[in-house]
Chains A and B, each alone.
Chain A
Amino acid sequence: MAASGCRGVRSILWKYGSYGKNLFVSRSKMVPQLPLRQIYVASSLWKKNLAAAGPQKFTQEFIDKQVEEFEVGKRHLANMMGEDPETFTQEDIDRSIAYLFPSGLFEKRARPVMKHPEEIFPKQTAIQWDAEGRPFHFLFYTGKQSYYSLLHDVYEKILAIERHQDKMRNKGLFTSDTKQILLTGSRWLLKEEIEENLVENISVQDYMRLIQLMELLLSMPYCSLEEEFILKFRKQLEVQSSKYEIPALQYDPQGVAFSVADGRRKSAKASITLRDSGSGNITINGRNYLHYFPVLQNREQLMFPLLFVGMMGRFDIEGSVEGSGHSAQAGALRLAISRALLSFVSEGEVEKMRQAGLLTADPRIRERKKPGQEGARKKFTWKKR
């Protein structure tokens, strides 16, 4: 058991060392089987409260077998679809499964799925003490061993950097302008994400403490030595504005540039042709916008994209809209105008428009009426007796 003890320490450290990946401790291979009952938990893709799930219910053996089966199945699937088994990615798998098992279920999570077992079986902590009840990790009695050992590691690294600094000073090679780590475009991992990595619950104060330590590490001049370590805790943010597809700029026979775009709001659909002709006429469904939208608010909605970009009297707008009510139609037209304007406007402006909320489709729809209630929220008259 002592042998298993030190192996357990190593395994836990190893477990901790690869964040987000293999947390399953390869204990059971090295050690005779403990009398564990395998209880299969229903699989679900969303991560549940992993720390509360308790020590592992799947054995490592079982997981490994699943992984093997997955790989073999992947190759079979690639063969079935007639594609190359070597370069068969997860996206291809998803596509093939959706093709082979078409499902009409509305709940996406209920549809058939084939993913790597690591994504399906939730990560769990291994048993953290040996047969005699002695814990493997030296920080077990703190209660949050992974968290505290992480803090311990970070502090060790800080000390290491300070020692390195002193050495450089002694040699006389100390400079402040060393290579800095690029932090733009990324953010610290959230508390939930760190919890997921450590398979442990941590409190808000613990999280703040961890982030403070990381910031301290970053503040030192020679932090680039630990760049790889730090970047494990940062998540890249995608550039949002690259997501929008800009409608193509087409040209009339007369040489007038125009673009076509659609917009939707709450079951109102609008389609717009934006012409670069130089007058400010707006025709909707064949009628002048002043007649179609007698309400000032709706006309203001139409005006906002053009005003924001500053191209008020430049465009001719010809639009058709149907469905829903007047406000929703105005909202749909506004979205359509903003999208059409994307092709006439520079990159920086696109980002500004996105931040102004012009390009976001309003997700609000009419709430469903529930049984036992008058409407979506209104209840029947409450009678005490």
Chain B
Amino acid sequence: NLHTGQYYTLPAAHIQKLFPHGLPPRFQLQIKTFNEGCVMVRPPALELISYLKKADYSKPPLRYILYGDVGTGKTMCLSHALHYCYTQGWLIVHISDAHLWVKNCKELLPSSSRPSRFDQPIQASQWLKNFKITNERFLSKVQLGYVWTKRERTEKGQPLGELVDQGVNRMKSSSDVVGAVLRELRLQAGGATEGEGAFKLAVAVDGLNALWGKTSLKKEDRTMCEPEELTLIHNVRKMMKNNWSGGAILTALSQTGSLFKPQSAYLPSELLGEEGFDNMEPFVPVSVSNYNEKEFESCYLYYLDRNWLQHSHSRSEEGKKELIFLSNKNPSILERLCAFL
């Protein structure tokens, strides 16, 4: 709690590896501008990290849901906690925005393995690439064996890396590869004891409400697709169930990308819907709110320090009061406001 309001620099190498796709686009721009990625330490993130430290990993994983108003910093807190996990050496499964999988998909193929499902090869291969970048050191360790199509099969004992490569190269079966990867990780996460194969699994999903909401994709006969019918979504849902052990599930809700939900909805019950809520119960809710005085002060000083606030009036007391009023201490609005000052 002493650290709230302080800025915590993410090392550049970590950013490249851990978050090839994970950070909000505006934050990525900010990193590029300032040449460094600094995250503010905030109570929700600290809370999450303390839970992670205290949790017992022989039991099924705890589910944490970050919820809050639009623009209060849920994704950032999630990334912060994820970075902690990364430094601890966990294996990271990070879905940066589940909403991207339920809308604007160009290619929707009927699944090769199961008849009633639909594949999304582009999204799946994209995700596999990112997964590879993030978890390079684990790829040689894990073993498995699967049947893909009639012609291809992976023998037992093949490392995970090969599987991932196969998924990246063969677009057709990439969604199934994703499913397989996830299943393997689940099985192996708590399974192996201390020694070579042990690792803890951190599953991070942003935009959790996409998994149980509606999609905007249509099937060939012009009826709406259910999220159930998408392979990727189905596999991720299986991950969300806590029938495995040895890890943690960190999630964040998001209203901005969600489909068919009003803008005022931000509570888990509203955004997840009944089905999602039942699935995710029990979970640990962590609420994220606007900056308080100290945090606002710290953000303001950070921008000043980086010479981001060019206008001379913004340096005075009056200017600060104006900023407080206009943004109501909301992080994203403040950021957008300062962007043109």
Contact = CB atoms under 8 A, between A and B. Distances in A.
Interface of A: 280, 287-291, 296, 299-300, 303, 306-307, 312-313
The range of chain B's interface size is 10 to 19
A217 B318 CA distance: 51
B326 A312 contact: no
A98 to B, nearest CB: 47
Nearest to A312: B321
Given A290-B330, A290-B333, A299 B263 contact: no
Contact of A291 (B263, B324, B325, B327): B263
A280 B330 contact: no
10 contacts: A287-B264, A290-B328, A291-B264, A296-B326, A299-B326, A303-B326, A306-B325, A307-B318, A307-B322, A312-B321
A289 B333 CA distance: 13
Interface string B67-96: 000000000000000000000000000000
Contacts of B263: 291
Contacts of A313: 321, 324
Contacts of B328: 288-290
B318 to A, nearest CB: 8
B203 to A, nearest CB: 32
A318 to B, nearest CB: 15
A113 B209 CA distance: 71
A303 B264 contact: no
A356 to B, nearest CB: 16
A235 to B, nearest CB: 41
Given A287-B264, A291-B263, A299 B330 contact: no
A300 B326 contact: yes
The 9 closest A-B pairs by CB, nearest first: A290-B328, A312-B321, A303-B325, A299-B326, A290-B330, A312-B325, A303-B326, A307-B322, A291-B264
Interface in B303-341: 318, 321-322, 324-328, 330, 333, 337
A307 B328 CA distance: 15
Interface in B138-172: none
A287 B330 CA distance: 15
A296 B318 CA distance: 18
Given A312-B321, A312-B325, 19 more contacts: A280-B325, A287-B264, A288-B328, A289-B328, A290-B330, A290-B333, A291-B264, A296-B326, A299-B325, A299-B326, A300-B326, A303-B322, A303-B325, A306-B325, A307-B322, A307-B325, A312-B322, A312-B324, A313-B321
Nearest to B70: A291
Contacts of B337: 296
B324 to A, nearest CB: 7
A290 B291 CA distance: 14
Contacts of B264: 287, 291
A301 to B, nearest CB: 11
Interface of B: 263-264, 318, 321-322, 324-328, 330, 333, 337
Contacts of B324: 280, 312-313
B48 to A, nearest CB: 25
Contacts of A307: 318, 321-322, 325
Contacts of A289: 328
B301 to A, nearest CB: 19
- Tell which of A290, A306, A312 has the most Cβ of chain B within 10 Å: A290
Contacts of A296: 326, 337
B338 to A, nearest CB: 12
Nearest to A303: B325
B285 to A, nearest CB: 21
A385 B333 CA distance: 56
Contacts of B333: 290
Nearest to B326: A299
A3 to B, nearest CB: 80
Contacts of A300: 326
Nearest to B333: A290
A296 B330 CA distance: 13
A291 B262 CA distance: 12
B286 to A, nearest CB: 21
A312 B337 CA distance: 18
Nearest to A289: B328
A291 B330 CA distance: 11
A280 B320 CA distance: 14
A310 B219 CA distance: 59
A291 B325 CA distance: 13
Nearest to A280: B325
Nearest to B337: A296
A52 B324 CA distance: 64
Contacts of B321: 307, 312-313
A297 to B, nearest CB: 10
Contacts of A299: 325-326
Residue in B318, B325, B327, B337 whose Cβ sees the most chain A Cβ within 10 Å: B325
Contacts of B325: 280, 299, 303, 306-307, 312
A141 to B, nearest CB: 67
Contacts of A287: 264
Contacts of B322: 303, 307, 312
Contacts of A312: 321-322, 324-325
A32 B263 CA distance: 89
Contacts of B326: 296, 299-300, 303
Nearest to A306: B325
Contacts of A290: 327-328, 330, 333
Nearest to B263: A291
Contacts of B330: 290
B315 to A, nearest CB: 17
